[in-house]
Amino acid sequence: MTMEKRTQHELDEETLFVVSQTFKALSDPTRIRILNMLCCEEHSVNDIAEKLDLNQSAVSHQLRFLKNLRLVKFRREGTTLYYTSADEHVINLLHQAIDHAHH
């Protein structure tokens, strides 16, 4: 299907909301950095905070936002939560945007 044909379709309210929330998630530099980290392997909150030089509270806040949008998922090991990306489509969008920025 060509891009022209795709844009001719009307979008329902739910689709508009999901798309806008996805772009909202990708509009924040901290969330971009977190998603970029989580696209290849899982990390704990502390690991993300340390590697991105952020405080744990800020990372937890951003992960909660991403989890609510189902863009990340987690598993528990003891008292530690390990996060990873949960939506390959969004990761592909992120990587396309990064590639575009490099051109």
Residue 43, pLDDT score: 98
What are the Cα distances from residue 81, in Å, to 2, 90, 92, 100?
A: 42, 22, 24, 33
Q: Distance between terminal CA atoms of the chain?
A: 26
Residue 10, pLDDT score: 82
Going from the N-terminus, what domains does the chain have, and what CATH number goes with each?
30-102 (1.10.10.10)
Tokens of 49: 């905070």
Please give the Cα distance from 24 to 31 (Å, whole number): 10
Residue 7, pLDDT score: 56
Residue 9, pLDDT score: 75
- Mean pLDDT for back-to-back runs of 10 residues, the chain (103 residues): 59 92 94 96 97 96 96 96 95 93 93
Neighbours of 91 (CB within 10 A): 17
**CA-CA-CA-CA dihedral for 47, 42, 94, 48, to nearest 10:** -10
Residue with tokens 């396309």: 96
